[in-house]
Amino acid sequence: MSARVPGPLPVPLEYPVYCHEGALSALAPIVAAVAPGHRVAIISDDTVAPLHAAPVLSQFPAATTQLFTIPPGEQEKTRAQWGALTDALCEWGAGRDTTIIALGGGVIGDLAGFVAATFMRGIPVVQVPTTLLAMVDAAVGGKTAVDSPYGKNLVGAFHNPSAVVMDPGVLRTLPTSLRRAGLAEMIKHGVIADAAYFDTVLQALPRLAAESAWSAPTTASAVIGELATLVAGSVRIKADVVAEDTREGGLRQVLNFGHTIAHAIERELHFTMAHGEAVAIGMVVEARIAEQLGLAPAGLHLAIAEAVRMAGLPWTIPAALTADGVVEATRGDKKARGGMVRYALPRGIGEMETGDGHWSVPVADDVVRQAVHASFG
């Protein structure tokens, strides 16, 4: 029997977002309410499935439910893997009466979401993020994509989930490094929209980032409860932005703060760095850019770097990279326009530059190069 389902979060989205410990065991009634289908296809990876697929599979009829898994990692978020999954769905007999459950981190959310967006010209997907980063970022917003050799997320579609179901209890199974990676997006949400939320996250960081807090059942339960409240706050901030700009034509671009540099670093490191770690560095570099352009007060990048440090995340560019390489890699970013790369830049904690209504500003390569040079350890 499935667990009782508490109500969704009060956020301005076209689909419900659930966030409570034990939500994974209450998945079936949510799916039945928002995306009833004759078949259920669960898409996960070889790391997450052994940990969390069984309680999901047990809630659905075995004869019409199938688990599909791929190897873990950003390197699997490709058009080839998209093709393999869509072929596997066809071979299984999936049709328009199929609902996809994306069970995993951001890679699974993006890839399974893109499969759902394109299979039979679009079928329902329920996002079930299992990493902190996916809970506060990738699972909410309806953006789906795969990577190409030329950059991240260059091939994709907007496809809203039928629901997002978050169970903070699953974060117990995450390595400390991946929990910390998710904190980067929470810091970002405070910077772009809510100074009070930023301060609340800042106060919680020593507990959330500490490995010892997750090792004992009593302290882990307390941290999960605190984290659930902060996740709900992050989702509220992102939902408010997405509701104003569903297609990333204006305000939604503020969510890209830190990401242009982050994507360049990831590409230069061949995706061996966790996305959240790259975002942490990217926020510090892009805050430097804002200072150099006179948009932000001196020292903003230091305040962000201190938050990143408290989260146990890197704040300097790895020595293996070069400034020229990072700058060149930014030019493959999907936010480039008219030969110049546009950046979402902060004016301070809780306030972003409007860019005359575009919410991003074009920045010359030499300005970026100067900020990157200054950001090596």
Q: What is the pLDDT of residues 166-199, one digit of tens each?
A: 999 999 999 999 999 999 999 999 999 999 999 9
* Residues sharing a CB contact under 8 Å with residue 229, sequence separation 6 or more, in sequence order: none
Task: Give the closest residue to 68 by CA, choosing from 57, 59, 55.
Answer: 57
The single residue of 152, 252, 301, 342 carrying the catalytic annotation is 252
pLDDT cut 90: percent of the chain above it? 84
Catalytic residue (choose from 248, 266, 268, 291): 248
CB atoms inside a 10 Å sphere around CB 287: 28
Q: Which residues of 248-270 are buried (b: 16+ CB within 10 A; e: fewer)?
A: bebbbbbbbbbbbbbbbbbbbee
Please name the helix (run of DSSP H) or strand (run of DSSP E) that holds residue 196, with its range, or none: helix 195-209
Residue 217 has pLDDT above 90, yes or no: no
Cβ contact 2:59 at 8 Å: yes
Q: 3-class DSSP state for residue 104?
A: strand
Kindly report, residue by residue over 110-138, the tens digit of the pLDDT: 999 999 999 999 999 999 999 999 999 88
Which of 180, 259, 267, 288 does the annotation list as catalytic?
A: 259
Residue 336 has pLDDT above 70, yes or no: no
Q: Are 209 and 311 in contact (CB under 8 A)?
A: yes
Who wins on pLDDT, 339 or 197? Answer: 197
- Is there a catalytic annotation at residue 226? no
121 catalytically annotated: yes
- Share of residues in the chain with pLDDT > 70 (%): 97
Q: Say whether 256 is catalytic.
A: yes
The answer to whether residues 184 and 273 touch, using CB atoms and an 8 Å cutoff, is no
Strand boundaries in the chain, DSSP class E: 17-19, 39-45, 65-70, 98-104, 125-129, 143-148, 151-158, 163-166, 336-337, 340-343, 346-348, 351-352, 361-363
Is there a catalytic annotation at residue 143?
Answer: yes
Q: Which of 148-162, 181-195, 215-229 has the highest mean pLDDT?
A: 181-195
Query: For all residues of the chain together, what is the average pLDDT?
Result: 93
**Residues contacting 68, CB < 8 A, separation 6+:** 41, 42, 43, 44, 85, 88, 89
DSSP of 47-96 = TTHHHHHHHHHTTS-GGGEEEEEE--SGGG-SHHHHHHHHHHHHHHT--T
Which candidate in 21, 52, 236, 256 is catalytic?
256
Establish whether 252 is a catalytic residue.
yes
Does residue 238 carry a catalytic annotation?
yes
The pLDDT assigned to 1 comes to 43
Reported as a pLDDT band with limits 50, 70 and 90, residue 324 is: very high
For residue 303, name the pLDDT band (cuts at 50, 70, 90).
very high
pTM of the entire predicted model: 0.90
pLDDT interval class at 334 (50, 70, 90) = low
CA-only gyration radius of the chain, Å: 20
Question: Is residue 42 predicted with pLDDT exceeding 90?
Answer: yes
188 is catalytic: no
